[in-house]
Amino acid sequence: MVPTARRRRTSEGPLALYREKRDFSKTSEPEGAARPVPGHDGAPRRFVVQRHRARRLHYDFRLEIDGVLASWAVPKGPTLDPSVRRAAFHVEDHPLEYFDFEGVIPAGEYGGGDVIVWDLGTWEADEAGEPPDPGTAVRSGELHLDLQGQKLRGRFVLVRTRPDPSGKEQWLLLHKHDEYAVDGWDPEDHPRSVLSGRTNDEVRAEPHRVWHSDLPPDKASVPLPPAAAAKVAAAPATADELGALDLLGHEGIWAIFGRELKVTNLNKVLFPPGPDGAAVTKRDFLRYSAQIAPVLLPYLAGRALNMHRYPDGAGSPGFWHKELPTHAPDWVPRWDNPDAAPGDSRTYLVVDEPAALLWAANFGALEWHAWTSRTEQPNLPTYALVDVDPGDNTSWAELLVLARLHRAALEHLGVEGRPKLTGRRGVQVWIPIAPGPSFSETRAWTEQLSRTIGAVVPQLVSWKWQVGERSGLARLDYTQNAHNKTLVAPYSPRAAPGAPVSAPVEWDELDDPDLRPDAFNIHNVIERLAQKGDLFRPVLQAVQRLPPFR
Give dist(CA 270, CA 47) in Å, integer. 47
Average pLDDT value for residue range 492-517 = 95
Q: Is the confidence at residue 198, as pLDDT, over 90?
A: no
Q: Are 530 and 448 in contact (CB under 8 A)?
A: no
Highest mean pLDDT among 1-10, 63-72, 105-114, 163-172: 63-72
Q: How confident is the model at residue 35 (pLDDT cuts 50, 70, 90)?
A: very low
> pLDDT tens, 406-415?
999 999 999 9
Q: Is the confidence at residue 23, as pLDDT, over 90?
A: no
What pLDDT sits at residue 40? 53
Give dist(CA 128, CA 142) in Å, integer. 9
Average pLDDT value for residue range 388-399 = 94
Give dist(CA 145, CA 124) in Å, integer. 6
**pTM beyond cutoff 0.75:** no
More confident residue, 207 or 547: 547
Give dist(CA 464, CA 474) in Å, integer. 10
Q: How confident is the model at residue 545 (pLDDT cuts 50, 70, 90)?
A: confident
What pLDDT sits at residue 434? 80
Give dist(CA 271, CA 273) in Å, integer. 7
Identify the DSSP state of 218.
G
Mean pLDDT of the chain: 87
User: For the range 510-515, what are the long-range contacts, defined as Cβ-Cβ under 8 Å and sequence gap of 24 or more?
Assistant: 510/400, 510/403, 510/404, 510/407, 510/419, 510/427, 511/404, 515/400
Average pLDDT value for residue range 315-323 = 95
Burial of 20 (0-12, 13-18, 19+ CB in 10 A): middle
> pLDDT tens, 421-458?
999 989 999 999 987 889 999 999 999 999 999 999 99
Closest CA to 69 of 48, 41, 42, 43: 48
> pLDDT tens, 468-482?
898 999 999 999 999
Q: Is the confidence at residue 39, as pLDDT, over 90?
A: no
Q: Which residues of 132-147 are buried (b: 16+ CB within 10 A; e: fewer)?
A: bbbbebbeeeebbbbb
Q: How confident is the model at residue 202 (pLDDT cuts 50, 70, 90)?
A: confident
Give dist(CA 249, CA 448) in Å, integer. 54
> pLDDT tens, 150-170?
899 999 999 999 766 666 789
Q: Are 48 and 101 in contact (CB under 8 A)?
A: no
> pLDDT tens, 115-159?
999 999 899 998 766 778 899 999 999 999 999 998 999 999 999
Give dist(CA 117, CA 245) in Å, integer. 36
Q: Give the domain ranges of the chain.
A: 16-223
Q: How confident is the model at residue 12 (pLDDT cuts 50, 70, 90)?
A: low
Q: Is the confidence at residue 7, as pLDDT, over 60?
A: no
Give dist(CA 26, CA 230) in Å, integer. 25
What pLDDT sits at residue 358? 98
More confident residue, 484 or 178: 178
What pLDDT sits at residue 103? 84
Q: Is the confidence at residue 305, as pLDDT, over 90?
A: yes
Average pLDDT value for residue range 500-507 = 97
DSSP β-bridge partners for residue 252: 263
What pLDDT sits at residue 207? 52
What pLDDT sits at residue 5? 35
> pLDDT tens, 209-268?
554 434 444 444 455 433 333 333 467 889 999 999 999 999 999 999 999 999 999 999
Average pLDDT value for residue range 489-494 = 97
Average pLDDT value for residue range 47-52 = 96
Q: How far apart are the first and last CA of the chain?
A: 40
SS3 372: coil
